[in-house]
Structure 1
Amino acid sequence: MRRRLSFLLTVPVLLAGLLAAAPAATAAAPFAASAHRPVILVHGYNADPGVWGQFADDLKASGYQDDEVFRWGYDTSRSVNEVLAGQFAAYVDSVRAQTGADQVDIVAHSFGSLPTRWYLKFGGGATHVAHWVSLGGPNHGTYTAWACALWSQACRDMSPGSYVQDRLASGDETPGGTRYATFWSSCDEVIDPDDSVPLSGATNTAAGCLAHNDLLTDDGVSQGVRSFLAS
């Protein structure tokens, strides 16, 4: 009886020892791959990264984590081709290094479409960008920029016929393996003409009658952009 009791007491102890020695499943498993590519949000002229509050919340509600959503802040008074595109390239490199991602996605509003396009077309960015989205971008210039072109480099770059506009329009407007999309409004008070936004080779979506900055917060646009990023 004593021998049987001793055996019964010993078995749980042996089992506990074996379980303790076995590596936990969570500890032994490799780190899970990120569920989404990092998204870089790029604001427009005379704005700041804070304009992306609603859209960033929408991304996170869709499953993005804080460390998958980035906002690039920059000085919109600088030249698209001479300064901003290079600064943006360095920022993309820093996001890729931080996250370990081979590629990122970009969502740009208004003027932010220009330095990001320059990076894609002339800075080798198409290799590192899977999806690029322009919300109300002056992709072929806007006549309203003439009102501030005298003192603002950004307005000169946004003006139809500028060096930046002519170079971006030359050849393939949507180069490389990147997937491109634009969203434009028929009531945009900043982009004139409205058809400045769409690009040849992109998925171009009419967002209806929205004010320029409402493209940042409209539910339909947000859903359309998120669906495109997931495609």
Structure 2
Amino acid sequence: MLLRKTVLVVSLATAALLVSAGGATAAPATPASAAPAAGAPDAASPLTTAAAATANPVIVVGGLSGVAVAYEPIAARLRADGYRTFIYQLPGLGLGDIPASARAFANYVAQVRASTGAATVDLVAHSEGGLVSRYYLKRLGGTASVGRYVSLGTPQYGTYVANIVAFLGLGSCAGIVACQQMTIGSAFLADLNAGDDTPGSVRYTTVRTLQDELVRPTGNAAVNDGATNVLIQAYCPLRVVGHLGLVLDGTAYTIVRGALVDGPVRPNCLAV
């Protein structure tokens, strides 16, 4: 019975919720960054060698239930563009309390800053990772340590997918705390979204897709108060990108890349 219950919880977290990376929070080591392609930088390589050396390190923040390898594709793109890149795996597979995950994340950011000597870092956060990151920024004083925040398919204002778990008779998210906190109207989201959505001098960008099967309504992946909210299909109507596809898709990455250099929103609809 215990095994069956465990399988149920893991299956729900993996298939019915916001699937992303999860796990350990070991102290980071400075990663080797691939050198930018030779020649003048273009849309595919926005950083010169000199700029890459001084750019903020980028932390890719995973979400609920998964493995870090799921974020290697986007991390590899960032490294190829010259960024010192780290992947943060949520503690306890991201199943537990989001504020607790944010407190652990605060320590990780401090470790990255110490290991790289950087005053600030940039965050590229997928799914629940965007909520963990926003809580860190808004409630834990993280704005002094972060230059840019980019979220990919984050249920900033909750998702009906989490509410449906209870509707199906599985109780309050089958006991998964993070799922409970991501339900529309939860006390956690009411607190997180009270007041300014975009505190500090951080540049906030959100990226969402109409085909996101896990964030419903998809408009809940946007935030208020001056953020740049990008709907992929507003620029690329024929582009099909799912929830997990946001960390794999070339067009989505061109939006991320532009945000990291404070550029205009110019998605490449043909990027692979």
Q: Which residue of 2 aligns with 1:203?
A: 228
Gaps of 5+ in 1: 1-31
Change over 3 Å in CA distance of 1:104–1:144 after alignment to 2: same
Q: Following TM superposition, by how much is the alpha carbon of 1:150 offset from its aligned partner in structure 2, in angstroms?
A: 3.0
Q: Following TM superposition, by how much is the alpha carbon of 1:34 offset from its aligned partner in structure 2, in angstroms?
A: 2.8
State the Cα RMSD in Å: 1.5
Q: Which whole-Å CA distance do the structure 2 matches of 1:181 and 1:48 have between them? A: 25
Q: Which residue of 1 aligns with 2:85?
A: 69
Q: Which whole-Å CA distance do the structure 2 matches of 1:169 and 1:175 have between them? A: 11
Q: Which residue of 2 aligns with 1:53?
A: 72
Please state whether the residue corresponding to 1:55 is helix, strand or coil.
helix
Q: Identity across aligned pairs (percent)?
A: 38
Q: Which whole-Å CA distance do the structure 2 matches of 1:99 and 1:61 have between them? A: 18
Q: 1:224 aligns with which of 249, 252, 255?
A: 255
Q: Which residue of 1 aligns with 2:197?
A: 173
Contact 2:154 2:221 in 1 (8 A): yes
How many residues are matched?
Answer: 196
Contact 1:42 1:49 in 2 (8 A): no
Q: Which residue of 1 aligns with 2:207?
A: 183
Pairing 1:132–2:138 present = no
Change over 3 Å in CA distance of 1:33–1:182 after alignment to 2: closer
Please state whether the residue corresponding to 1:34 is helix, strand or coil.
helix
- Rg bigger for which structure? 1
TM-score by length of 2: 0.70
Q: Which whole-Å CA distance do the structure 2 matches of 1:225 and 1:57 have between them? A: 13
Contact 2:57 2:121 in 1 (8 A): yes
Change over 3 Å in CA distance of 1:33–1:164 after alignment to 2: same
Q: Which whole-Å CA distance do the structure 1 matches of 2:179 and 2:243 have between them? A: 16
Matches within 5 A, 1:29-44: 34-44=53-63
1:223 aligned partner, one-letter code: T
Contact 1:38 1:105 in 2 (8 A): yes
Contact 1:41 1:108 in 2 (8 A): yes
Gaps of 5+ in 2: 1-50, 167-172, 234-239, 263-272
2:228 aligned partner, one-letter code: T
